[in-house]
């Protein structure tokens, strides 16, 4: 390869973006929905999250396994994530209900995750 380049891990790329826009960013990955063949469990999980998530986020997670949101208040977001998502994949008794999240502050540091 005859060009200069930089290699970044995915989480560093997200952190760099958050620092660039100077806003908190949350990365979501609908792990449970996309790693199961149990249609009834997936549909039940969709119904649970349809009541929890804003409509645009719910739709985005149904159509794309990985979604990002920018937010204004990291404290409010941290509380909302903790209240509405499994604490970890290991603690999630229904695998289809596991949605991974990682919260990055406006400086680009990962400050919360449920992994």
Q: Select from 8, 11, 32, 3 the least CA-distant residue to 102.
A: 11
CB atoms within 10 A of CB 29: 18
How many DSSP H helices and E strands does the chain contain? Answer: 5, 4
According to DSSP, the residues that pair with 66 across neighbouring strands are 29
* Cα distance between residue 26 and residue 67, in whole Å: 8
Mean pLDDT, the chain, rounded, equals 94
Whether 44 shows a pLDDT value over 90: the answer reads: yes
User: pTM of the entire structure?
Assistant: 0.90
> Domain boundaries in the chain?
26-113
Q: Note whether 69 and 26 are within 8 A (CB).
A: yes
């Amino acid at each position: 390869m005859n060009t200069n380049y930089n290699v970044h891990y995915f989480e560093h790329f997200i952190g760099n973006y958050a620092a660039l826009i100077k806003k908190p960013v949350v990365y979501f990955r609908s792990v449970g929905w996309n790693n199961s063949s149990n249609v009834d469990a997936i549909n039940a999980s969709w119904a649970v999250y349809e009541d929890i998530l804003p409509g645009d986020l719910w739709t985005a997670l149904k159509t794309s396994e990985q979604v990002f949101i920018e937010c204004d208040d990291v404290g409010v977001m941290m509380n909302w994530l903790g209240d509405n998502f499994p604490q970890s994949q290991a603690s999630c008794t229904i695998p289809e209900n596991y949605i991974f999240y990682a919260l990055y502050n406006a400086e680009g540091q990962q400050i919360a995750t449920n992994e």
